Amino acid sequence: MNAITPIEPGATLPETTGIVIITGRAPDYLTERLREKGYEVFYDQEISYESLSERIASVEGLIVTTRLKINKALLHKAVNLKWIGRLGSGMELIDVPFAESLGITCVSSPEGNRNAVAEHELGMLLNLMNRQSGSMNEIRQGKWIRTENTGIELHGKTVGIIGFGNTGSSLARILSSFNTPILAYDKYRSGFAGGLVQEASLEQLCRHAQVVSFHVPLTAETLHMANDDFFGALEQHPFFLNTSRGKVHDTAALIRALQEGKIAGAALDVLENERLDTYSAEERAQLNWLLSQENVVITPHIAGYSQESFVSMARVTLDKLGI
């Protein structure tokens, strides 16, 4: 039985404190624990910004994912809001500085899904290196081709990790059994080298890495970080992976890098625009081209959403909030 109370269309929330609205898909565990602590919980994973804005004045806590912008206009109305919990890692849709200036606590839960992201990415990488999806498509066409589908072993390859936070470090940990030297670049962290992990500059990483993986938040600084200049600096024609945010890579530049052989293949769990029904003709053409390539793997932003991480993110979020 689902223990989550849905919000009926047009319903008015009670003018009391202790109300929490969950604005994205969430496990029953989350609601059960909140209710055990005395909160009145309302769940609407399709709630609109406008509807949330109408109800926000009476709300003490928000649980959010990647659907809605929690911006200044909304926060101005949130006169009783004490905390915002993000199921996942990215906080780019929340105006955290403004929220904190109002005394609102903001937390995320990358610890809850970092292992899921690392495992998913490893699966995509091994798929690419061993031509699994491409060769299966050939078999569907009645072709049994062995020599041209010879795989490349990950063992001993140099892996470049850009952003060495929760997910970047988890990927390094999961790669340890492959004996892969790790070149890790993180502009804002240092002192994490050890074992097979070596701190490196971005230039060093681009020069030596045979696999390049992005694990950075989306900021003004990282927007289109993987652009023509970046792909042009890659000397080893590496496999390129992005499980962070779609706008970290420039799709047109990525396509050019594939066409010109600057990268051996691409594994993407994120796209610049993940609302496929809003695509322009150019966006549709780009996606269709990528989907037609045997050396491209795309998944629908699911790397961080394993069955286990779904609950773990909720647990981490509430632990951080002291609930």
Q: How far apart are the first and last CA of the chain?
A: 23
The residues that bridge with 11 in the sheet, in sequence order, are none
R_g of the chain, CA atoms, integer Å: 22
Residue 245 annotated as catalytic: yes
234-291 pLDDT tens trace = 999 999 999 999 999 999 999 999 999 999 999 999 999 999 999 999 999 999 999 9
Which among 208, 224, 256, 301 is annotated as catalytic? 301
pLDDT of residue 10: 52
Which among 55, 120, 131, 245 is annotated as catalytic? 245
**CA count, 13 A, side-chain hemisphere, 172:** 25
Residue 20: phi and psi, rounded to 5, are -125, 135
Residue type, 270: V
Residue 283 annotated as catalytic: yes
User: Is the pLDDT at 309 greater than 90, yes or no?
Assistant: yes
Q: Which residues contact 308 (CB under 8 A, 6 or more apart)?
A: 116
DSSP state of 176: G
Asked whether this chain's domains 19-108 and 112-298 adopt the same fold, the reply is yes
d(CA 269, CA 273): 12
Which among 60, 92, 283, 294 is annotated as catalytic? 283
pLDDT of residue 89: 86
Residue 224 annotated as catalytic: no
pLDDT of residue 8: 55
13-37 pLDDT tens trace = 444 449 999 999 999 999 999 999 9
61-116 pLDDT tens trace = 999 998 899 999 999 999 999 999 999 988 988 999 999 999 999 999 999 999 99
Q: Where are the domains of the chain?
A: 19-108, 112-298
The DSSP code sequence of 78-113 is -TT--EEEESSS--TTB-HHHHHHTT-EEE--HHHH
Question: By three-state DSSP, how is residue 210 classified?
Answer: coil
Report residue 85 as tokens. Answer: 């919990």
d(CA 309, CA 110): 10
CATH superfamily of 19-108: NAD(P)-binding Rossmann-like Domain (3.40.50.720)
Find out if CATH 3.40.50.11540 is the number for domain 112-298: no
171-214 pLDDT tens trace = 999 999 999 999 999 999 999 999 999 999 999 999 999 999 99
